[in-house]
Structure 1
Amino acid sequence: MTTSGSAGRWTPKRPPDARPPPRSSARATTSEPGVLQLRSHRSLPARQSSRHRRKPPTGAEMNLLIAALSLPMSLSPVAHDPGAGDSLTEALKAGRTYANLRYRIEHVDADGFAEDADAGTMRAVLGYESGAWKGLSGLVEFETVTPIGLEDYNSTVNGETDFPVVVDPEGVEVNQLYVDYALGEGFDLRLGRQELALDNQRFLGPVAWRQNHQSFDALTLRAPDLGGLDGTYAYIDQVHRIFGDENAVGDEHMSTHMLNVSRGFEGIGKATAYAYLLDFDDNVAQSTSTYGARFSGKRELDTLGLRYTLEYAAQEDAGDNPNEVDADYLLAEVGADFEGVAVTAGAEYLSGSGDPGDRFQTPLATLHAFNGFADLFLNTPDTGLEDHYLRVSGKLGAVKAALTYHVFDSDSGGIDYGDELDLTLGYKVDEQISVGFKFARFEADEAFADVTKGMVWVSVGLL
Structure 2
Amino acid sequence: MRRSIIFLLMMAMVLPLLGQGQFSLDGQIRPRAEFRNGYREMPTEEAKPAGQVNQRTRLSLSYTFDERVATRISLQDLRIWGQNVTMSNNPTFSIYEAWVALMPGERFSITAGRQELRYDTQRLMAINDWALTGRTHDALVARYETTGGSRLHIGAAFNQSQNLNFGTHYPLNNYKTLNYIWYHTPLSDNLKASFHFIADGYEHPDDPEDLNLRATWASYLVYNPGAFELRLYPSFQHGKTAMGQDISAWYLMVEGFSRINENWTVRPGVEIFSGNDQVNPGEKFNAFSDLYGMGHARNGFMDYFTTFPQHTNNAGLINPYVKNVFSLSENTNFQADLHLFFMQNDFPDPEDTNTAIDKYLGTEIDLTLNYRFNPFTRIIFGYSVMFGSESMEILKGGSKDEFAHWAFVMIRMTPRFI
Q: TM-score, normalised by structure 2?
A: 0.76
| Worse-matched range after superposition: 447-456 or 189-198 | 447-456
SS at match of 2:20: helix
Q: CA deviation at 1:146?
A: 2.1
Please list the CA deviations of residues 359-394 of structure 1 after superposition, one character each: whole Å capped at 9, or x if unmatched.
001130122122111111123321210001111112
Contact residue 235 and residue 255 of structure 1 kept, 8 A = yes
Which residue is equivalent to 2:135?
A: 214
Q: Which of 383, 392, 395 lines up with 2:327 in the alignment?
A: 395
Q: Which of 210, 213, 217 lines up with 1:291 in the alignment?
A: 217
Contact residue 144 and residue 151 of structure 2 kept, 8 A = yes
Extract unaligned runs of 5+ from structure 2. Answer: 6-15, 85-90, 162-169, 347-357
Evaluate the alpha carbon distance shift between residue 371 and residue 187 of structure 1 in structure 2; reply closer, same or farther with a 3 A threshold: same
- CA distance in 1 between counterparts of 2:294 and 2:2 reads 20
Contact residue 382 and residue 407 of structure 2 kept, 8 A = yes
The yes-or-no answer on 1:339 pairing with 2:248 is: no
SS at match of 2:119: coil
Q: Identity rate of aligned residues, in percent?
A: 19
Q: Which of 375, 378, 402 lines up with 1:431 in the alignment?
A: 375
The yes-or-no answer on 1:99 pairing with 2:27 is: yes
- CA distance in 2 between counterparts of 1:409 and 1:39 reads 49
Contact residue 203 and residue 366 of structure 1 kept, 8 A = yes
Evaluate the alpha carbon distance shift between residue 239 and residue 370 of structure 1 in structure 2; reply closer, same or farther with a 3 A threshold: farther
Evaluate the alpha carbon distance shift between residue 271 and residue 132 of structure 1 in structure 2; reply closer, same or farther with a 3 A threshold: same
SS at match of 2:368: strand
Tell me the amino acid that sits aligned with residue 201 of structure 1: Q
Contact residue 39 and residue 125 of structure 1 kept, 8 A = no
Q: Which of 183, 186, 191 lines up with 2:112 in the alignment?
A: 191
Evaluate the alpha carbon distance shift between residue 455 and residue 230 of structure 1 in structure 2; reply closer, same or farther with a 3 A threshold: same
- CA distance in 2 between counterparts of 1:408 and 1:421 reads 12
Which residue is equivalent to 2:301?
A: 373
Tell me the amino acid that sits aligned with residue 296 of structure 1: V
Contact residue 39 and residue 143 of structure 1 kept, 8 A = no
Evaluate the alpha carbon distance shift between residue 127 and residue 307 of structure 1 in structure 2; reply closer, same or farther with a 3 A threshold: same
- CA distance in 1 between counterparts of 2:412 and 2:149 reads 39
Extract unaligned runs of 5+ from structure 1. Answer: 1-37, 43-86, 152-169, 241-247
SS at match of 1:235: strand
Which residue is equivalent to 2:179?
A: 257
Evaluate the alpha carbon distance shift between residue 39 and residue 354 of structure 1 in structure 2; reply closer, same or farther with a 3 A threshold: farther
Contact residue 181 and residue 196 of structure 2 kept, 8 A = yes
1:441-456 alignment runs, 5 A limit = 441-445=385-389, 446=391, 447-448=395-396, 449=398, 451-456=404-409
Which residue is equivalent to 1:359?
A: 287
Tell me the amino acid that sits aligned with residue 345 of structure 1: P
Contact residue 88 and residue 133 of structure 1 kept, 8 A = no
Which residue is equivalent to 1:156?
A: none
1:10-409 alignment runs, 5 A limit = 90-91=19-20, 94-110=22-38, 111-112=43-44, 114-133=47-66, 135-148=68-81, 171-225=92-146, 229-238=150-159, 252-281=174-203, 288-300=214-226, 305-318=227-240, 320-337=242-259, 338-355=261-278, 357-378=285-306, 379-380=308-309, 381=312, 382-397=314-329, 398-409=331-342
Q: CA deviation at 1:121?
A: 1.6
Q: CA deviation at 1:108?
A: 1.3
| Worse-matched range after superposition: 178-187 or 448-457 | 448-457
| Worse-matched range after superposition: 283-292 or 362-371 | 283-292
Evaluate the alpha carbon distance shift between residue 210 and residue 459 of structure 1 in structure 2; reply closer, same or farther with a 3 A threshold: same
- CA distance in 1 between counterparts of 2:17 and 2:178 reads 34
- CA distance in 2 between counterparts of 1:188 and 1:134 reads 11
SS at match of 2:54: strand
Tell me the amino acid that sits aligned with residue 251 of structure 2: Y
Please list the CA deviations of residues 342-367 of structure 1 after superposition, one character each: whole Å capped at 9, or x if unmatched.
11111111001225853001130122
- CA distance in 2 between counterparts of 1:137 and 1:249 reads 33
Tell me the amino acid that sits aligned with residue 32 of structure 2: R
Evaluate the alpha carbon distance shift between residue 40 and residue 455 of structure 1 in structure 2; reply closer, same or farther with a 3 A threshold: farther
Q: CA deviation at 1:209?
A: 1.0
Greater strand content: 2
CA RMSD of aligned residues (A): 3.2
Tell me the amino acid that sits aligned with residue 388 of structure 1: P
Contact residue 102 and residue 123 of structure 1 kept, 8 A = yes
Please list the CA deviations of residues 174-216 of structure 1 after superposition, one character each: whole Å capped at 9, or x if unmatched.
0000001112141111000011101110000110112211111
- CA distance in 1 between counterparts of 2:23 and 2:339 reads 45
Evaluate the alpha carbon distance shift between residue 39 and residue 262 of structure 1 in structure 2; reply closer, same or farther with a 3 A threshold: farther
Q: CA deviation at 1:252?
A: 3.0
Please list the CA deviations of residues 297-343 of structure 1 after superposition, one character each: whole Å capped at 9, or x if unmatched.
3222xxxx301011211111337443332111111111211323111
SS at match of 2:121: coil
Evaluate the alpha carbon distance shift between residue 319 and residue 391 of structure 1 in structure 2; reply closer, same or farther with a 3 A threshold: closer
SS at match of 1:199: coil
